[in-house]
Amino acid sequence: MVFSCAVALLTGCSAPGKDEPIWQQVKIGDLAPSHNGKQPGGQLLKTANFTVYIFEIPAENTGSLDDIWPMLHTKPLRFNYYDAFANNSFLVAFGQLPMWNKVADLLQAAGGKRVKTVSLLLPDGQANDIPIATLGNEKTIFYISTEGPMEGVTIGPGGLTLRIKAEKIPGSRGVCNVDALPVFSPPISSPIPQLAAREKSREFPFACCHFGLKMGPGDFVFLGPQKYSSDQTTLAGLFFSRPGPRPVVRMFLIVCSRINY
């Protein structure tokens, strides 16, 4: 059964060695809850800490990932528009720390390599963007809308990002609500707040591919496409694929490492 459903302070990225096994790149210890997050005076910051690992897998091996999705869960996930999410060829599933060993083995078997690591420190109610793709010029991107039919939106220049937001759950400790949303953002070039706000108003959120869930330390979300698509005019193709002589598929592992509220 296929489970259907799918940021930015870049504080660290690494390129693995050519023959380095994926299990040497991301160990269970890397995913375990962090014990940092204190101010110099010893007071805990009211933040949620996440690490996002981006993997690339040879396009011809995408079918090997079919064994990963049944191991994970979709029940904790919520969608504004489940059908639109699935029809846009997005897949997402939820897992916890003990499951990572098997997931990592399957990624390694498929030839996966970790190409980037993004560390996030999210204050309550705030969001960060993970850069996904750069649009140097104006371009029309096609997607299945929340109403059902395919639509096109002309965007660019700017960047396609994955916006991740964390919010405290009233009355609960050690967990937070997490929302993820693909967003096109134009470059913000003006230091004048009014002009910067006008530029930001040109953002385009792809609400059709929003998802959310409750997460605590040790929880992770695995995000990827249903299949490889070389078409860079579709949302899924632009978001998950890197075409070329050796085309690859991008996969995203979003790990909650600590919550300080």
Each residue's pLDDT tens digit, 90-133: 999 999 988 988 999 999 999 999 999 999 999 999 999 999 99
Least confident of 4-8, 127-131, 133-137: 4-8
Rounded to the nearest 5 percent, the helix, strand and coil shares of the chain are 20, 40, 40
Is residue 195 predicted with pLDDT exceeding 80? no
Mean confidence (pLDDT) of the chain = 85
Joined tokens for residue 259: 């919550």
Collapsed DSSP state (helix, strand, coil) of residue 110? coil
Cα(162)–Cα(164) distance, integer angstroms? 6
| pTM across the whole model | 0.83
Cα distances (Å, whole numbers) of residue 89 to 54, 153, 159, 238, 256: 18, 18, 20, 12, 25
The Cα angle at residue 88 between residues 134 and 69, in degrees rounded to 5:
100
Each residue's pLDDT tens digit, 145-191: 988 889 999 999 999 999 999 999 999 999 999 999 999 999 876 66
Amino acid occupying residue 214: K
The pLDDT of residue 201: 74
Indicate the burial class of 7 (C-beta count within 10 angstroms; 0-12, 13-18, 19 or more).
Answer: buried
**Residue with more model confidence, 256 or 41:** 256
